[in-house]
A and B are shown apart, each in its own frame.
Chain A
Amino acid sequence: MSEHQISLTVDGERETLTVEGRTLLVHALREDLGVTAPKVGCETSKCGACTVELDGDVVKACTVLAVQADGKTVRTAASDTEDDVRSVVTQQFHEQHGLQCGYCTPGMVLTAADLLRENPDPTPSEIRASLKGNICRCTGYTNIVRAVESAASELEGTAAVAGDGGKTAAVDGSAPEGDD
């Protein structure tokens, strides 16, 4: 059994801690650092409740070793919404009643914001496809899709969603051309 000292930035705080090799990032966050916004809903990397941003990419924190996050930056749904996209998405989840029990919500919001940064004007089917890695058992997704759609229209024309695409391939070929 190996132990490792790691340093990472979590929601703006610099943290240093010792973890076992096997410790999952989600457990380091929740158990060791008390950062409980990411939740645990499964053990097969399926539900997305544990979603966080790792150096800007959405990942499932239950499927990354804590030691692999050494030197990296983690942002959870509890972080200050530095960017407009997430704060608009969050607001629209509220407006459209896109959450019930709220357990999926911290992960869902991060994934939805990630989608909009890449594809500012997704169709409802693209939204549904993009949320494949986040399960919600309460809402039936109808209002989640509405929330993402209305966030997209709210953000239309703002700088927040332009030019940050290309992290993954554009799904519809209308990739932003990096025009700013």
Chain B
Amino acid sequence: MSDAESADAGAADPSEHDQEAVDEDADTDAYTGSGEKRREDAALLSGRAEYTDDREPPGTVHLAFVRSEHGHADLEEIDTSAAEAMDDVLGAYTWADVEASPSPGRLQPPGLDRDVPAHPVLATDRVRYHGQPVAVVVAEDRYRARDAAAAVDVEYDPLEAVVDPETAATDSEAPRLFEAAPDNIATTAELGDRDATEEAFAAADRTVSIDLENNRLISSALEPRAAIGEFDPDEGFTVTVTSQSPHGHRRKLAHTLGVREGEVRVVSPRVGGGFGHKGHHHPGEAMAAWCARELEVPVKWTATRSGNYLEGAHGRDHRTTAELAIDDDGTIRGLRAETYASVGGYGLGSGARMPVRYGRLLSSQYAIDAIHCETRAVFTTTAPIHSYRGAGRPEAIYVTERLIDVAADELGLDPVELRRRNLISPEAFPYETPVGATYDSGDYEPAMDKALEAIGYDERTDATGADDGRLRGVGIANYVESTGGGFESGLVRVLPDGDVAVYAGTHSHGQGHETTYAQLVADALERPIDRIQVSEGDTAAIPTGTGTFGSRSTIVGGNAVVESAEKVLAKARRIAATELGVDSAQIGYEDGTFAVSGANDSVSAEAVSGADETVSFEDIADTAYGWGLPDDLEPGLESTTFYDLDGAAYTFGTHACVVAVDPDTGDVELERYFAVDDCGERVNPLIVEGQVHGGVAQGIGQARYEQVAYDDDGTLLTETMDSYGVPRAADLPSIETDSTVTPSPLNELGVKGIGEAGTIAAPPAVVNAVCDALDITHVDMPLTEEHVWRAISDQNEE
């Protein structure tokens, strides 16, 4: 789970039950595959649903951070005395206090070869990014915590900042963040075969190249991060966290607090969006818990929007030079890329290594013989970088899908035709790419054709032919998305009255697991959906799990709960066999009733109704917890599965869009946006579609509006929603969707993840369209009016 393959984001929830069931039974009553309306909606719509900040245990006090005003500085002195002297202030703490406590006080180790320290919860003697927590105050309420934080006096000795990763790594004058990393390089990795790639380039007819920046982003979930720390000397910590990964947070909190995992219970109620950053560990969660132990009262921390934006984790921030080796007939021979990726001021766990794995998707949908990718993850005096929805996949696909358009231009070939000539053929699966990914299944051309047809690609108007003076362009992006990494737990527990409680180690924060898992289990057990309850988000109740990110929940969580349901049903069948006095192979089951059915294990309708003896699911549940169980059966009716996918399931698709560019102002309008996605079987098409919409919106956000900006001193210029461009309704087109279905052979449900597809496909689709409209090779994201206008002006000058 800690690599780019699986790190992050709004995992979604497609799937379907196994192929045979669909084909043979054509069970039209199945919940799976239906657009079941979400069960979680009622509480959310009424405002009754509780998010972390909505909870307030009695006696809760509030924590506020004092944050660095500088991007890079030595800490000279921190004076908390004025704050401590204030009424209603319970405490003010600095690193010295943490150091003197039993807690190591560092976030998860970056896990790099270079011996750099892990992020301290409060700055030690130096700050390495604007907004790094320097001190913490605790007061009776939020307003007084704010006053106390304002009263803390910090003296800094500013140092030179460096915010660009390429500069940080290549400019010998650049300031150095850590002694152990003299060139600021945190880690380097190569993927693919350098020599083979060089040969391919030497043999190819032509080479095209491109320099591009993958802009730094902020996930911007609408709910800011929050945590409530509680400590009981006998029972340990209970930390209520806005978490995508409660068990992950438990492990990380235990590490930072210096206690055993068993001493930490993590509870995560409703979560208001995550997109990656709520899977990561930040100082806030840890300090809420640390202060709770210090003060023996519940301590709540809720990030302000700017606090959230300052401390990250941010995403993306790559500088890449990439080349494509191509023959005149359009055959792609090789691809190579060299990337500088920012880590930020500290490595946050796997976040520090994430960038160097991004190249694993560089093959996109194409059969390319040789690929080589060299990536340097670089410390800069900026907020830490970690996975943001997509987590390496968008960066890779952007490189390849941009390069192809550049190559098509160079060859004078239609970019769609160039793509078509290089697609991996449906017979080639499983397909192993030169950068170490094994695609499980795919059939790329039908999805592409669907998108092209929907957008009217063949009838598209000439870029200059529009009558309103605007330039039209069409952009296409193909993509693959690796989904389903890491194990997941699913527990299905039948209660004595026959109700079914489902527990999963994932944690929905918008993806609708309560509905999706209920659909799956209802079908597997042939029970009405309203007798199924789904719970997530409490480490005390749920078997150890992994969490919701990396478009993994339906694949691994879904298969885990289904497998558990199947095990439960097998046991129920054995109990029924005893009750009915036959061999369990003779027991048929349909719609909640077990019946004797001869030797056949699947039972027809008449068999059930014609049987003289039947027993209901409820009766079996009752028996399982009561008397009359056969000696060789344990009481109880539940099962836990730890499901692990062998490899990854590769979602794919084609997104296409039409833009109109105003040549006078650089204004871009997305006139159409059409997404065709293939995530295998879809458990709930409504939810899948919602995931596509949301992902595309964030992808268009990256392409058009979003850009984290630091000035040369390392001051964050985009600290608020006024300056960081989260798209509003009027900024986005209506997103149209369609699908193809190529099941994954790797899991029984045939599902693949869909949570990140839109963030992967949209940026290249939009940029390709604008480049087509302007007839230019490249323009960096975000395509603000000014960037586009400058691209037009530059072109006019040539």
Contact = CB atoms under 8 A, between A and B. Distances in A.
Contact between A and B in the complex (any CB pair below 8 Å) = yes
Interface of A: 20, 22-23, 27, 30-31, 34, 36-44, 46-47, 49, 76-78, 90, 93-95, 97, 99-106, 109, 124-125, 127-129, 131-132, 134-145
Contacts of A99: 41, 44-45
Contacts of B735: 140, 142
Contact of B223 (A41, A76, A143): A41
B618 to A, nearest CB: 30
Interface of A is mostly: loop
Contacts of B304: 43
Contact of B47 (A41, A77, A135): A77
Contacts of B511: 100
Contacts of B730: 125, 128-129, 131-132
B139 interface: no
A109 B46 CA distance: 10
A140 B720 contact: no
A81 to B, nearest CB: 9
B697 interface: yes
B222 A135 contact: yes
A137 B726 contact: yes
B734 interface: yes
Contact of A42 (B54, B693, B720): B720
Given A101-B222, A131-B729, A94 B41 contact: yes
B545 interface: no
Contacts of A125: 730
Lowest 10 CB-CB distances: which A-B pairs, in order? A37-B47, A102-B44, A103-B272, A140-B697, A100-B510, A101-B510, A140-B693, A78-B47, A36-B54, A128-B729
19 contacts: A31-B56, A40-B302, A42-B721, A78-B47, A90-B46, A94-B37, A97-B38, A97-B686, A97-B690, A99-B41, A100-B690, A104-B222, A128-B729, A129-B729, A129-B730, A134-B729, A137-B273, A141-B729, A142-B735
A9 to B, nearest CB: 17
B305 A44 contact: yes
Contacts of A143: 690, 693
B729 A127 contact: yes
B687 A142 contact: no
A43 B250 CA distance: 30
A40 B307 CA distance: 13
B272 A102 contact: yes
B603 interface: no
A140 to B, nearest CB: 3
Nearest to A76: B47
Interface string B726-766: 10111010110000000000000000000000100000000
A101 B728 contact: no
Given A102-B40, A103-B222, A141-B697, A31 B47 contact: no
Interface in B696-732: 696-698, 720-722, 726, 728-730, 732
A77 B728 contact: no
A105 B46 CA distance: 9
A88 to B, nearest CB: 12
The winner among B306, B511, B687, B697 for most chain A CB atoms within 10 A is B697
The winner among A76, A103, A143 for most chain B CB atoms within 10 A is A103
A47 B142 contact: no
Interface string B388-402: 000000000000000
Contacts of A129: 729-730
Interface string B35-58: 001101111111111110110100
A138 B42 CA distance: 17
Nearest to A109: B45
A142 B720 contact: no
Contacts of A105: 44-45, 47
A47 B721 contact: yes
Contacts of B42: 94
Contact of B734 (A27, A43, A97, A145): A145
Interface in B747-796: 758
Given A49-B222, A136-B222, A100 B45 contact: no
B88 interface: no
Contact of A46 (B38, B143, B224, B720): B720
B220 interface: yes
Nearest to B699: A140
Given A42-B305, A94-B37, A142 B48 contact: no
Given A77-B45, A137-B273, 9 more contacts: A39-B223, A40-B53, A41-B224, A78-B46, A78-B47, A93-B45, A101-B44, A102-B44, A138-B510
Contacts, number: 178
Contacts of A134: 729
B509 interface: yes
B529 to A, nearest CB: 16
A75 B67 CA distance: 36
A30 B47 CA distance: 12
Contacts of B37: 94-95, 97
Contacts of A90: 45-46
B221 interface: yes
B45 A43 contact: no
B734 A142 contact: yes
Contacts of A128: 728-730, 732
A20 B141 CA distance: 12
B512 interface: yes
Contacts of B53: 30, 36, 39-40
Contacts of A93: 41, 45
Interface string B235-265: 0000000000000000000000000000000
A150 to B, nearest CB: 13
Contacts of B10: 138
A38 B510 CA distance: 18
B689 interface: yes
A101 B508 CA distance: 8
B41 A137 contact: no
Contacts of A41: 222-224, 305, 721
Nearest to A37: B47
Nearest to A131: B729
A102 B694 contact: no
B689 A44 contact: no
A26 to B, nearest CB: 11
Contacts of B418: none
Interface in B670-703: 686-687, 689-690, 693-698
B549 interface: no
B93 to A, nearest CB: 24
A78 B48 contact: yes
A140 B694 contact: yes
A102 B734 contact: no
Contact of A139 (B49, B697, B721): B697
A102 B45 contact: yes
B687 A138 contact: no
Contact of A44 (B49, B512, B693, B722): B722
A22 B695 CA distance: 39
The winner among A94, A109, A125 for most chain B CB atoms within 10 A is A94
A135 B729 CA distance: 8
Nearest to B224: A41
